A and B are shown apart, each in its own frame.
Chain A
């Protein structure tokens, strides 16, 4: 089987990751009879020290993307890759096609900043004063009210 190794600096929670430094490799599943597509273990051709920059992979047989969690030297020219399926990248298009109730969003266009936000951090309060537009001096007067004819 073939496997493509990548380097990515995208955060793990990024749905569409930026991939670079593609490298085609040949390898085989450790568990050939019942390989896991979610947590596969593959032995590929290549020295361990030549794989330092790779942390991501695509397995065409599964049509899925994987995080490389561990790289263990098996021999001088073979390396074992313990991987975990990246469901976000794998189902990128399917996820983006879903409708959902959004709880938080980076863009102000799809958020309501007036909603109470527990992420806000405040410290002591300060006082601001405002006067009304007709602010001015006032004078008192003496009013006499008398009844009479």
Chain B
């Protein structure tokens, strides 16, 4: 059974009254889906669906002022065990009470089905909506079945709103439970409800329509990695100020101790895996504060812990058409997307036009890697871009390597010293290769002005050295100076085509039809003429004229 597979039931404006005067603008709905979920559709699932792209996965209908009745039946599970859109009738509502029963079109060939609808309206200053799931129970010859709410029913009244609330209805299939749930949410009062379709059909949303494009498999944004540096004992902390830690680390608690801190190698500072300025800090979760432990040294400096990975959802935006013709597509219109820390990327205009695109970043706080997932409509992820987004601070032995070389050189040239640390050891100066034996803190000698001068040179070297790493492009520090939100740039032509040109030269077409169905300018691409009474000369001339264009 496929996972995460959508079946589109309906897309576009749907008017159940089929243009009856006065109702034509009353309803609208878009992108009605049955959605598979690998977990039961609890509130969190519902929220997740809503968050992912509400305008794409929910059905939303609205009643306009001046009407107090409507009854659009939505999607349901048909007897063929597939979700299906049902058409509805109308019902009267008087002062919030529905006064008649409902007739539902029964799909030919269905013997049984389960479906739901919602009804909305207003009375006085109160809005009204109702969600009912039905089981069709009457296969009478008239092709209709009178529904009664045999499954469940929920109504809500919203005081103070003259317009009925928008509702989101999801028909969610739970892979685990092997059955469908209705999920309903009222936008205005945030009422939500999910309910198991009691009959629990073992259905899945495969599209078996013939002659239609097979629905695309939704490519979801993957979950954040579950393995990371935490699995090898690395703790991550996030804060905006580490001065207390720096004071602890770089405190002048003895000359040899300070020298050893500067040299770094084989000191606890080796344990610092990363010390990075990371954008979008709000995306990294903040857990309880804990002591920062470096190696086996508890600094007793506390900071909130965080995760290595974070997801930043920049939201969505619909790429609107402007011309409603070929000018909306390539090569006339081009769409670019600016991605922070990555740069501008070109999007395939034909794929994204009139669709909703979204951008989600996955970030790694340790390496600074950021990966942008660009999603579109019912396809899901269709383009990915990678970048880097950190400023690496030179606090650790690794990141300050360049600085440390300068420090070591300065000290090798100008100072004779012994390093002090918690544990004595032998170190090799990076440039000269000279080995120096260090001693434990108990062996620390008092400082001299010459040695202090070396330390001062070392600090100067750190300050002078470019201590920021860059990965090129718009990444790292450059990215921090740039825009922090994605921006869509649409290059559109200015249409200079005179209006009404279609009456003179027609719109482009590619269709086989009987010429009697057409009116106005018509140009034929190909035709096999056969007209009684016409000579070959006549036929040749007619064909020539049709290919040049005639007015029917």
Decide if A and B are genuine partners: yes
Interface: B47 (CB within 8 A) = no
Q: Are B550 and A15 in contact (CB under 8 A)?
A: yes
Q: Are B538 and A87 in contact (CB under 8 A)?
A: yes
Q: Which residues of A contact B485 (CB under 8 A)?
A: 131-132, 135-136, 138
Q: Which residues of B contact A107 (CB under 8 A)?
A: 502, 507, 518-520
B480 CB → nearest A CB, Å: 7
Closest to B506 in A: A104
Interface: B531 (CB within 8 A) = yes
Q: Are A103 and B525 in contact (CB under 8 A)?
A: yes
Interface-lining segment among A19-27, A45-53, A65-73, A93-101 = A93-101
Interface size of A in residues (CB-CB distance below 8 Å): 67
Closest to B532 in A: A94
Closest to A124 in B: B494
A106 CB → nearest B CB, Å: 3
Interface: A76 (CB within 8 A) = no
Q: Which residues of B contact A113 (CB under 8 A)?
A: 324-326, 507-508
Q: Are B505 and A96 in contact (CB under 8 A)?
A: no
Given contacts A106-B506, A135-B315, contact A13 B545 (CB under 8 A): yes
A124–B496 CA distance with the chains assembled, in angstroms = 10
A137–B297 CA distance with the chains assembled, in angstroms = 37
Q: Are A105 and B492 in contact (CB under 8 A)?
A: no
Q: Which residues of A contact B506 (CB under 8 A)?
A: 104-106, 111
Q: Which residues of B contact A127 (CB under 8 A)?
A: 489-492
A135–B516 CA distance with the chains assembled, in angstroms = 53
Choose from B279, B324, B491 the contact partner of A140 (Cβ within 8 Å): B279
Prevailing SS type, chain B contact patch: mixed
A115–B326 CA distance with the chains assembled, in angstroms = 6
Q: Which residues of B contact A139 (CB under 8 A)?
A: 280-282
Q: Which residues of A contact B547 (CB under 8 A)?
A: 103
Choose from A112, A116, A145 the contact partner of B229 (Cβ within 8 Å): A145
Q: Are B491 and A125 in contact (CB under 8 A)?
A: yes
Q: Which residues of A contact B325 (CB under 8 A)?
A: 113-114, 117, 120
Q: Are A103 and B278 in contact (CB under 8 A)?
A: no
Kindly supply a per-residue 1/0 record for chain B positions 305-328, scoring 1 wherever the CB is within 8 Å of any chain A CB and 0 otherwise.
010100001111101000011111
Q: Which residues of A contact B294 (CB under 8 A)?
A: 146, 148
Q: Which residues of A contact B92 (CB under 8 A)?
A: none
Choose from A97, A108, A137 the contact partner of B507 (Cβ within 8 Å): A108
Q: Are A96 and B245 in contact (CB under 8 A)?
A: no
Closest to A128 in B: B490
Closest to B298 in A: A148
23 examples of A-B residue contacts, CB within 8 angstroms: A13-B551, A87-B538, A87-B545, A88-B550, A96-B552, A98-B531, A104-B521, A106-B520, A110-B517, A113-B325, A115-B508, A115-B510, A119-B501, A119-B505, A124-B493, A132-B316, A138-B485, A140-B280, A141-B238, A142-B276, A145-B235, A145-B365, A146-B237
A67 CB → nearest B CB, Å: 12
Interface residues of B in 251-283 (CB under 8 A from A): 271-282
Given contacts A132-B316, A138-B484, A149-B296, contact A143 B284 (CB under 8 A): yes
A127–B236 CA distance with the chains assembled, in angstroms = 43
Q: Which residues of A contact B245 (CB under 8 A)?
A: 144
Kindly supply a per-residue 1/0 record for chain B positions 325-336, scoring 1 wherever the CB is within 8 Å of any chain A CB and 0 otherwise.
111110010000
Given contacts A104-B549, A110-B518, A126-B492, contact A140 B271 (CB under 8 A): no
Q: Are A147 and B232 in contact (CB under 8 A)?
A: yes
Interface: B74 (CB within 8 A) = no
Q: Which residues of B contact A90 (CB under 8 A)?
A: 538
Interface residues on B, range: 35 or more
Q: Are B514 and A147 in contact (CB under 8 A)?
A: no
Q: Are B235 and A105 in contact (CB under 8 A)?
A: no
Interface: B26 (CB within 8 A) = no
Interface: A29 (CB within 8 A) = no
Given contacts A104-B508, A106-B520, A130-B490, contact A141 B278 (CB under 8 A): yes
Interface residues of B in 494-552 (CB under 8 A from A): 494-498, 501-503, 505-527, 529-535, 537-538, 541-542, 545-552
Q: Are B272 and A144 in contact (CB under 8 A)?
A: yes
A111–B521 CA distance with the chains assembled, in angstroms = 11
Q: Which residues of B contact A11 (CB under 8 A)?
A: 551
Choose from A97, A103, A122, A144 the contact partner of B496 (Cβ within 8 Å): A122
Q: Which residues of B contact A126 (CB under 8 A)?
A: 491-494
A107 CB → nearest B CB, Å: 6
Given contacts A100-B527, A102-B522, contact A140 B281 (CB under 8 A): yes
Q: Which residues of A contact B282 (CB under 8 A)?
A: 138-139, 141
Interface: B393 (CB within 8 A) = yes
Choose from B293, B365, B527 the contact partner of A149 (Cβ within 8 Å): B293
Q: Are B240 and A106 in contact (CB under 8 A)?
A: no
Q: Which residues of B contact A132 (CB under 8 A)?
A: 314-317, 358-359, 485-486, 488
A119–B507 CA distance with the chains assembled, in angstroms = 9
Q: Are B515 and A98 in contact (CB under 8 A)?
A: yes
Interface: B48 (CB within 8 A) = no
Q: Are A123 and B493 in contact (CB under 8 A)?
A: yes
- In this complex, the member of A10, A112, A113, A124 whose beta carbon has the largest number of chain B beta carbons within 10 angstroms is A113
Q: Which residues of B contact A54 (CB under 8 A)?
A: none
Q: Are A147 and B484 in contact (CB under 8 A)?
A: no
Q: Are B279 and A149 in contact (CB under 8 A)?
A: no
Q: Which residues of A contact B518 (CB under 8 A)?
A: 102, 105, 107, 110
